[in-house]
Amino acid sequence: MHSRSVGYRGTVRRAREDLVAGRYRLGEVLGRGGMGEVYRATDEVLGRQVAIKLMRPVAQTLAIPERFLREARAAASVHSAHVVATYDFGGYDGGYYLAMELVSGRSASDALRRDGLFSPERAEQVVRQAAAGLAVVHRQGIVHRDVKPSNLLLAADGTVKIADFGIVRFLDDETTTTLTSTGEIVGTSHYLSPERALGEPATPASDVYALGCVLYQLVTGRPPFVGEAPASIMYQHVQKQPIPPRQLCTAVTAELEALILWMLDKNPDRRPTAAEVADGAAPPVPSDLVETTRLQSVRRLAGRPVLAGTAATFAVVLFAVLGIFLETRGVDLPATNDLTPDHSATTPAAVPGTASTPEVEGTATTPSTRPSARTPKVSSTRTAPRTESKAARPTGPRSHVKRAEPTKPNPGKPEKPRKPGKTKKPKH
């Protein structure tokens, strides 16, 4: 390996001839950025394909050694199926290298450019997988700060992986600010959250906003805000509302549009977390919509007072009838189908002093109808009892039912009273 550097391109040329760090042989270029280039490479020690990022320090820019080291440490601390894995980091010929997982596939930006719009279902799947990776990143106290389509890699098996931790911010490190030494805002203007456009520090909610911009672009073909200059785009992020996605693409469902607009809320406190997006959370119902629905319900009820009163009265009557019915269920009521006495079987009481009807002790005249031996319990229903002779009353237990007056044996003309001492001769 050469000990003296003759420029970045000369370093790359020698790296192709030699092995980077004594083990990585460079191949084709996979991508270029402001801080270096990414190559396909072969790890000669482990015999596997990797991606090598060669970074060149440039004074007064983001490409400074401290930032390279921060990227390597951030990427190495995150372990997720949706984050590109980091294998190795070190210095090489005045610069630095970062060995990473090689993802067989292409970025979301390449797929959008070559294949056109994503279907709503595919776009939502890509973003929810990316959100799962961001959730792990945020749990490590890291903010990515550069979420965009070119940093979402689509593997051949459908897995989405987040790449490029070059401008991450550690939440517990005050040295990682939003601005560069020249006063420029870190990040890409099309995906910059409103709070970051105002110069405030990036938070996990800022990454969610950027991911919402990506989702908007995947289904509409353009970011939420466009302009000729970054300042114009940043102004729109702060002051303007995006065009509803369904107006640009009719295939977008109402549910997906609600998710996009939820992620693009101007207030970072009202946005979902990355974990909520990954778990498929649905946007909350707006409070003004809830209030409107409540007022409409009150108006409908207030407009029908008579109907409500009638229904209440009917319910009371119905319950009363049911109560009476249930109270008398299972009670044996006395027979009331025949209350007329049987004159052929009823013997009138003897007149005192006559010999034709001697009084026998312990003998009672049989009534026309016998009272039931079973004494029913009657509630709320009064029934006339059976009639019987005054001289012949049953010797059984007294019923609690009030007895009626005995009926005279002859309903015709009443007999004249007989004079005492005279006995009427019986007819033959």
Tell which residue, 37, 71, 72, 48, has the closest CA to residue 146: 71
Q: Are 205 and 215 in contact (CB under 8 A)?
A: no
Helix (H) or strand (E) holding 90: strand 86-92
Return the structure tokens found at 421: 């001492």
Cα(56)–Cα(32) distance, integer angstroms: 12
Tell me the torsion sign for CA atoms 222, 225, 226, 230.
Answer: negative
Q: Classify strands 24-33 and 36-43 as parallel, antiparallel or unpaired.
A: antiparallel
Cα(277)–Cα(133) distance, integer angstroms: 11
**Catalytically active residues, by annotation:** 146
Q: Are 97 and 144 in contact (CB under 8 A)?
A: no
The DSSP code for 140 is T
Cα(269)–Cα(200) distance, integer angstroms: 14
Tell which residue, 221, 229, 78, 239, has the closest CA to residue 162: 78
Return the structure tokens found at 97: 């290298």
Cβ partners under 8 Å of residue 301, min gap 6: 308
Return the structure tokens found at 5: 């550097």
The DSSP code for 253 is -
Paired with 169 in beta bridges are 143
